[in-house]
Amino acid sequence: MHLSRFRSARVTEPEQQARRLTSHWGPVGPAIGLAPDPARTPEPIVAVYGARCSGWRGYFGIHTWIAVKPAHAGRYTVYEVVPRHWRGRPSALAIRRGPPDTRWYGHVPALLAQRRGDGVTALIERIEKSVHEYPYRHRYLVWPGPNSNTFTAHIARAIPELALDLPPTAIGKDYIVGSLVARAPSGHGWQVSLFGLLSVLVSRVEGFEVNVLGFVFGIGPFARALKLPLVGRIGATPTQIASIDAGGSSLIRHIPMASPRS
């Protein structure tokens, strides 16, 4: 299945701008059943997914993306950043309509965060605004960034309600330019970062992290998990899900697999 263009009955001005700048860059496989079926889920949804990268890169890191579904919408809109040469376009920002829970180069995605229900419509509007404010849409570097995880962290900083805890394998999440000090990717807490090469982070969501050349070491909040390069988190199994009631909306974290092979 190839999505070469957007198909929507109602097109907003931000969507028209996105169409001029971006389109999906390649094939999309079938959904694996991780995302709620939009035909049976009228409530609005915001979700963040991650999967191991392709080839040898999968031993080191993951690729992440964000999906939104407005109330009563029949499809998801997926936002992600990919290398520009993959798409043959000047922008690394890719936007597509369709299932968000497809395999990434054969690797099964994991659900990193999800919000649904009351208050999520306002979050979707803020996400769409933040997508078009992403400052590195014309740049992509696997290491140390900016890359797909830099983009996801940019969105998460603007939407602290997600309380997104990107795993240590999300190389590029600490990439910031223009300042040594910034909000942690979750939007809670702070970090000091030198172009994503060296950084220290303290947050009630991520815990404590030290990044050395993209290799992240740390402990989760209240020392419930150990964070290590390559393997991700120790202390939470791949099937462990933490559900948190946040203002009537559902927030779910799913820890990604430690192995690059699915």
Place of tokens 């220290």: 200
Return d(Cα 93, Cα 39) in angstroms, integer: 27
pTM beyond 0.75, yes or no: yes
Give 12's pLDDT tier (boundaries 50, 70, 90): very low
Return d(Cα 226, Cα 240) in angstroms, integer: 15
pLDDT at 249 over 60: no
Place of tokens 């915001």: 46
Q: What is the pLDDT of residues 130-168, one digit of tens each?
A: 999 999 999 999 999 999 999 999 999 999 999 999 999
Sheet with 226-228: list strands edge to edge: 181-183, 190-194, 198-203, 207-212, 215-219, 226-228, 232-234
